[in-house]
Amino acid sequence: MKLYDMHTHTNNSHDSKADIITQTKAQIAAGAAGFAVTDHCDVQFYERDHVFERIQNSVEDALAAQKRFSGQVEVLTGIEIGEGIWDEARAAKMCRAFDYDVVLSSVHAVRYPGLTAPFSTIDFGKLPRETLEQYIDQYYTDMIEMTEKLDFDVLPHITCPLRYVNRKYGRDIDFLTPYRDKVETVLKQIIERGIALEVNTAYANCTQECLPSYDILSLYKEKGGKFVTIGSDAHAPENAARLLFDAAEMLRQCGFTGYYYYKNRKPIFIRF
């Protein structure tokens, strides 16, 4: 089976030091048939982080790597837009700025009073449980608005805060049952719009499961979802294409017969 890693980062993202050549060689070594370079475009830091220039460099680097490593691995262009609903005009501008192969749209920070910083920087161990539960509820509310309004191809790591809330701070929050109505709304909207659901393998070794869990993947399948992608979310070369076969096996167990990668913003099916 061909492996396509549809979510990776380079040093054109604020939180990665990996150059495109090193990342490409790592993907080849891992046996990937292709990978998408989806560097961060966090709209709330657009000016501070010189986001337009970073994404322009990212696209140019991916195209150069595609040319250099032609015949060894397919290098796809992409972008991961964060907090697009905070500035819809800017998100739309960046979505149209370059000819991407794939556009991801994420929630990395929540519009919750006093806690609007990226959740990777929040100490969830100190929050009262009621506040934490309200925060997760608002996370899904933001995601509902995002999946309703923005132009994108893939919804990454639908349960992303779980990495920090549960795995880092040990809070043991159920990310599905109390929020099932909102999760179902998100899934319904991406199914109706033909947006893919990503299986994200970052940090999966912590609990031997990917993001989202088997339960949410099964729910997506039951509701008629068919577009699924797999992404390592690799910010470093040692994580390139990691656990993609594990994610594929989980998808197979959920009843999927294959998965998709994107080129020219169109889904291409790969059978298991």
Alpha-carbon distances of 133 from 8, 17, 59, 128, 157, rounded to whole Å: 30, 34, 38, 9, 19
Mean pLDDT of the chain, nearest integer: 96
What is the arithmetic mean of pLDDT over 4-12? 98
Q: 258 by DSSP, 3-state: which?
A: strand
pLDDT of 11 over the 80 cut: yes
Average pLDDT on 106-110 reads 98
Query: How large a percentage of the chain has pLDDT more than 90?
Result: 94
Q: Which residues contact 244 (CB under 8 A, 6 or more apart)?
A: 3, 5, 32, 201, 230, 232
pLDDT > 70: percent of the chain: 98
Residue range 136-179, pLDDT digits in tens: 999 999 999 999 999 999 999 999 999 899 989 999 999 999 99
Task: Please determine, for residue 97, whether its predicted confidence score (pLDDT) is greater than 90.
Answer: yes
If you ran DSSP here, which 8-state letter would residue 13 be given?
Answer: S
Q: Which tens digit of pLDDT belongs to each residue from 174-205? A: 999 999 999 999 999 999 999 999 999 987 65
**Distance, CA of 16 to chain centre:** 15
Cα 267 vs. chain centroid, distance in angstroms?
16
Mean pLDDT within 114-128: 96
Count of structural domains within the chain: 1
207 band by pLDDT with thresholds 50, 70 and 90: very low
Tokens matching residue 216? 């949410």
The whole-model pTM stands at: 0.97
Q: How far is the C-alpha of 90 from the C-alpha of 214, rounded, in Å?
A: 34
Confidence of residue 206 (pLDDT cuts 50, 70, 90): very low
* Lowest-confidence region among 18-22, 66-70, 138-142, 213-217: 213-217
DSSP assignment string, 114-172: T--SBGGGS-GGGS-HHHHHHHHHHHHHHHHHHHHH---SEE--TTTTHIIIIIIT---
Which residues span the domain enclosing 209? Answer: 4-271
**On the CB side of 160, how many CA atoms lie within 13 Å of its CA?**
20
- Can you give the CATH number for the domain in which 134 is found? 3.20.20.140
Instruction: Give the alpha-carbon dihedral of 97, 100, 104, 108, to 10 degrees.
Output: -50
Q: What is the pLDDT of residues 226-258, one digit of tens each?
A: 999 999 999 999 999 999 999 999 999 999 999
**pLDDT of 266 over the 60 cut:** yes
CA–CA distance, 208 with 199 (Å, rounded to integer): 13
Give 195's DSSP letter.
P
Q: What is the DSSP string of 14-35?
A: TT----HHHHHHHHHHTT-SEE
Taking the C-alpha atoms of residue 131 and residue 66, their distance in angstroms, rounded to an integer, is 46
Interval 44-63: pLDDT, tens:
999 999 999 999 999 999 99
